[in-house]
Copies of this chain bind each other. A is one copy, B any other.
Amino acid sequence: MATKEPLVITDKHEMRKWSRAMKSQGKTIGFVPTMGYLHQGHISLVREAQHHSDLIVVSIYVNPGQFSPTEDLSTYPSNFRGDIEQLMAIPGGVDVVFHPHNLYHYGPTNQSVDSGGDKGLGRKGSGVVSCVEDSGFGHETWVRVENLEKGMCGESRPVFFRGVATIVTKLFNIVEPDFAVFGKKDYQQWRLIQRMVRDLDFSIKVIGSEIVRDDDGLAMSSRNVHLSPEQRKQALSINKSLSRARIAAEKGHVNCQELIDIVIKAIHEAGGKVDYAEIVDQESLKDVEEITSPVVFCVAAWFGKVRLIDNMEIFIRNGDL
């Protein structure tokens, strides 16, 4: 068992300095951004990154920019020491854990920051407010992927993808990686980051890593810890019904509304509340009426106060139709 202790860096200038020093030695850097409270899903991202890069940087930072003031920022679980131990247990380990305190607080600069006024204008201008604006940090630059940020998770979480695209841009500019790995569990996020990297000409290859499931099939998530044993059983309705829908589709049942009804009914009967259940094109994430090309079936549902997401890609050979 490897027990490589990662270097923990909290300062962004130190982080960039490390990356540049390594790159000047010809090393490639793989980057796995996380919000901590790591589970096997994250570990699989690190293993994926190891396949592509000489060195691995994992960031652990709960990004206030992607939470609205009414969301669960303050209760988002954390266990930094446990995270480090899990990373040390990975064969090959990771090289750096980047663990900044606050990436929106710029401190004294040569620019005065009138956060009160900025906040007011920000509210008016964007129509959405995250915990960053709520805290008055004076940050006012946001990256918008204007189509992919809408719909699905963007519908119920209006600041979410704006916050994700922005923090990933910041982290890319600080870590300067060659590769970055994102989990396909957050499918919309993965596609949005891919598009952002293309549109903004980042010189970074974005890799999507497959969903990791517990033995019972539940997609791994930091939020699963909040489920009661009863809710956890109920939550299995998501992956079970998604699998049934996929099998049905593969057998030729390509009408999306019928497949969606299967999933909504199953989750509802189990005691969950569906936020959305959509079958969309794998790249444009636009709704599809009938499956004739690769699609992904995306679901979000509440079990008590816990909102879970999951998805399943569906590929159908044209010859089957």
Q: Which residues of A contact B (CB under 8 A)?
A: 12, 16, 24, 103, 106, 109, 111-112, 114, 117-118, 121-122, 125-126, 139-148, 150, 165-166, 169-170, 173-174, 176, 194-196, 198-203, 281, 283-284, 286
Q: Is the CB of B145 within 8 A of A140?
A: yes
A203 to chain B, nearest CB (A): 6
A-side binding surface: helix, strand, loop or mixed?
mixed
A204 to chain B, nearest CB (A): 9
Q: Is the CB of B142 within 8 A of A144?
A: yes
Q: Is the CB of A203 within 8 A of B16?
A: yes
13 more A-B contacts (CB under 8 A) besides A112-B284, A121-B146, A141-B145? A109-B198, A111-B283, A117-B286, A121-B150, A140-B147, A140-B195, A141-B195, A142-B143, A143-B144, A143-B200, A170-B200, A173-B201, A173-B202
Can you sample 15 A-B contacts with CB below 8 Å?
A: A106-B199, A111-B194, A112-B281, A112-B284, A118-B284, A121-B146, A122-B146, A141-B144, A141-B165, A142-B144, A142-B146, A143-B144, A169-B200, A170-B201, A173-B201
A131 to chain B, nearest CB (A): 16
CB closest chain-B residue, reference A106: B198
A290 to chain B, nearest CB (A): 17
- Would you list the 9 A-B pairs with minimal beta carbon distance, nearest first? A141-B199, A173-B201, A121-B147, A170-B201, A140-B147, A140-B146, A111-B283, A125-B146, A141-B145
Which residues of B are found within 8 Å of A281, using beta-carbon distances?
112
Cα distance A146–B60 in the bound complex, in angstroms: 27
Q: Is the CB of A173 within 8 A of B203?
A: yes
Cα distance A283–B140 in the bound complex, in angstroms: 13
| Stoichiometry (number of copies) | 2
Contact of A146 among B141, B199, B201 (CB under 8 A): B141
Given contacts A114-B284, A200-B173, A284-B112, are A125 and B140 in contact (CB under 8 A)?
Answer: no
Which residues of B are found within 8 Å of A117, using beta-carbon distances?
147, 284, 286
CB closest chain-B residue, reference A203: B16
Q: Is the CB of A141 within 8 A of B143?
A: yes
Cα distance A195–B140 in the bound complex, in angstroms: 8
Cα distance A176–B147 in the bound complex, in angstroms: 28
Cα distance A296–B150 in the bound complex, in angstroms: 39
Which residues of B are found within 8 Å of A283, using beta-carbon distances?
111-112
A244 to chain B, nearest CB (A): 28
Question: Which of A146, A176, A196, A283 has the most chain B CB atoms inside 10 A of its CB?
Answer: A146
CB closest chain-B residue, reference A133: B146
Contact of A147 among B109, B125, B194, B200 (CB under 8 A): B125
CB closest chain-B residue, reference A144: B142
Which residues of B are found within 8 Å of A16, using beta-carbon distances?
203
Q: Is the CB of B141 within 8 A of A200?
A: yes
Cα distance A174–B197 in the bound complex, in angstroms: 12
Which residues of B are found within 8 Å of A173, using beta-carbon distances?
200-203
Cα distance A30–B268 in the bound complex, in angstroms: 60
Which residues of B are found within 8 Å of A284, using beta-carbon distances?
112, 114, 117-118
A271 to chain B, nearest CB (A): 35
